[in-house]
Structure 1
């Protein structure tokens, strides 16, 4: 989960693609416990996940526009992405899954936290959305041989045990001709000041301890991990927060939060 309190902040991130490199699984028990403690508040716009609610419209628009360009879809049509599959890795309470389902995607959401999946499933049922939620990991889906037209890994990679292995698994899940969209926090002094100290200790946008700055991922490392999984990076953009208007916008500033889009050749 990513957010940062400055006008310069950005919001929420080859060969061998068929066999994941050796390394531990992506799940950290400490991270699972951390988000389980907050699971009941996923859909509270004023709760611990308020930053995600705040910049969700911008990251949704980025995903929508990247997918429309990749698959030649008209976003003015009803359910423009009908017939396409989408996987949200680390889906939490479903803040991305539900709007993606409304756009026509056949959505699968996975999360290592059972309580998150329970909350997401209940909310989707109440919204009348047929989303396939399951407790699981990217590595498990790779082992099943699953592939998806669109794979999302949004504000997740900064919480995993092995970044390279995790990104390789995410990339492997992208079907031929498919798209991956990711988001995370850059590891810079600016992000330490804004996304860690500012967001957690000064403005208290996030619970203390939500992020570990040393686990933030530089754009070059994120891109390298995706390329190792056989993807080509198409876009790297940041988002800027305007403290006067309280709004986010896309920007060229990657110093704090950033978004990445990558594709697999058909």
Structure 2
């Protein structure tokens, strides 16, 4: 890796647009990318451990547990959370929202499952007066500009009664190199390779989100993840 490439990780790359965020992108490649999220998230997102350690205790304390996933993308994360909760005997009601009609179209083509998917934003649900025991997102934060980041965090505070947890990538030259090699065979069949590399360049480091909003804590998680967490009623 060249010195210029190493230097580029000193700050977030916020000017470039991911291919899948282009409204005119190839629909077939986009749909294939949504489908491939399932494998990538299973390998790198760490939701099983987050479910066991952080989500399950909050959900188990509720007689009628509810969970909201903000920006569901391919829809695989909320489906897995619902299955794990069901296996634990929890009657969890899962709602997943995404403002992109293409993401909604993708999940509607999937087999029926235990999740209610909606085309909506977190602000829409705040306006409806909705509340959930747990609010989560997966790989969402690096897509947001500063104003949208503050909006999503403020909405999460209003929507979550027990826990809000945003799980994202953590910018790292090592993660970038590993992802580049692992996904190179997919470079022509979907947006997963190019957009994933850009996502890593756009992602935060913990110090960049420290103090982003009162009441939120940020920490690094293995292998190359970042967790931004809010517990209602807890000290900042």
Same-fold call, TM cutoff 0.5: yes
Q: Distance in 2 between matches of 1:35 and 1:112?
A: 19
Q: Distance in 2 between matches of 1:263 and 1:184?
A: 18
Residues 89-108 of structure 1 aligned to structure 2 (within 5 Å): 89-102=70-83, 103=85, 104-108=91-95
1:116 matched to 2:103? The reply is yes
Deviation by residue 1:71-113 (Cα, 9 ceiling, x = unmatched): 555xxxxxxx761111101112221111223313211111122
Aligned partner of residue 49 in structure 2, secondary structure: helix
Report which of the two has the higher share of helix: 2
Query: 2:195 matched to which residue of 1?
Result: 209
Aligned partner of residue 76 in structure 2, secondary structure: coil
Query: 1:16 matched to which residue of 2?
Result: none
1:54 matched to 2:40? The reply is no
Asked if 2 retains the 8 angstrom alpha-carbon contact of 1:87 and 1:108, the reply is: yes
5+ residue gaps in structure 2? 1-17, 86-90
Asked which structure has the greater RCO (Cα within 8 Å, sep 6+), the reply is 1
Query: 1:8 matched to which residue of 2?
Result: none
Q: Distance in 1 between matches of 2:22 and 2:120?
A: 12
Query: 1:262 matched to which residue of 2?
Result: 230
Query: 1:69 matched to which residue of 2?
Result: 57
Q: How far is the alpha carbon of 1:29 from its aligned partner?
A: 9.8
Query: 2:171 matched to which residue of 1?
Result: 187
RMSD of aligned C-alpha atoms? 3.5
Aligned partner of residue 193 in structure 2, secondary structure: coil
Asked if 2 retains the 8 angstrom alpha-carbon contact of 1:111 and 1:117, the reply is: yes
5+ residue gaps in structure 1? 1-27, 74-80, 241-255
1:39 matched to 2:14? The reply is no
